Amino acid sequence: MLLTALRFSHQLLKEVVTNGDHVIDATMGNGNDTLFLAELVGPTGHVSAFDIQEQAIQNTREKLADYVDRTTLYLAGHETIEEKISARQPIRAAIFNLGYLPKGDKQIITLPETTKQAMRAILKRLAVGGRMILVIYYGHIGGEVEKNEVLHFCQDLPQETYSVLNYQFINQKNNPPILLCVEKKSD
């Protein structure tokens, strides 16, 4: 069976992330991706995870009890990556799930400007062979605008430096999520 966007995002991470890597979860939410990444990077790697909601930090902290040493949970927007993560720190992979916190406040959503700011900061730090993945949920108010801006941003990336994949079930009803994977080919 073809993988869902969510399962495929984990597959794409698994292919490039290994023991000792530094990675970013740009939208921590309930911590599912943070946990997945913490297992991939092993005891010598590190996951930096971001969210603007206290609830997200609490939910994620409960899931990560066994991985405290290899994770930093920031109660801060991903637009602060530029200041929080050293420009000399190579990032092997990063993931975004754009939209609102499942079972949370549907008014608190990711926004195009801050999402693009975070993407720029991540691409500056992305190692050659590394991947930045976005799973875009856009069925909510504001989602369509963010989806289009993120798509344009990724379409404009130079093909000499990046390969960009777009994965979506195009015959599904109700705004099926879009997965974008940006892979860095060269510096």
Ligand X SMILES: C[S@@+](CC[C@H](N)C(=O)[O-])C[C@H]1O[C@@H](n2cnc3c(N)ncnc32)[C@H](O)[C@@H]1O
For the chain, where are the alpha helices, taking DSSP H only? 5-16, 32-41, 54-63, 81-84, 112-125, 143-155
Question: CB-wise, 108 or 127, nearer to ligand X?
Answer: 108
Gyration radius of the chain's alpha carbons? 15
Residue 116 burial (10 A CB sphere; 0-12, 13-18, 19+): middle
Site mask for ligand X (CB under 6 A), range 93-132, x = bound? ----x-xxxx-----x-x---x------------------
Distance of alpha carbon 97 from alpha carbon 115, whole angstroms: 10
Q: Is 159 helix (H, G, I), strand (E, B) or coil?
A: coil
CB of 16 closer than 8 Å to CB of 41 = no
Question: CB-wise, 142 or 161, nearer to ligand X?
Answer: 142
Question: CB-wise, 99 or 130, nearer to ligand X?
Answer: 99
CB of 75 closer than 8 Å to CB of 52 = yes
Shortest Cβ distance from residue 34 to ligand X (Å)? Answer: 7
Stretch of 37-45, 77-85, 150-158, 172-180 lying at the interface with ligand X (CB under 6 A): 77-85
Stretch of 46-54, 141-149, 167-175, 179-187 lying at the interface with ligand X (CB under 6 A): 46-54
Shortest Cβ distance from residue 115 to ligand X (Å)? Answer: 7
Question: CB-wise, 4 or 53, nearer to ligand X?
Answer: 53
Applying CB under 6 A, which residues contact ligand X?
A: 27, 29-33, 50-53, 56, 77-79, 97, 99-102, 108, 110, 114, 137
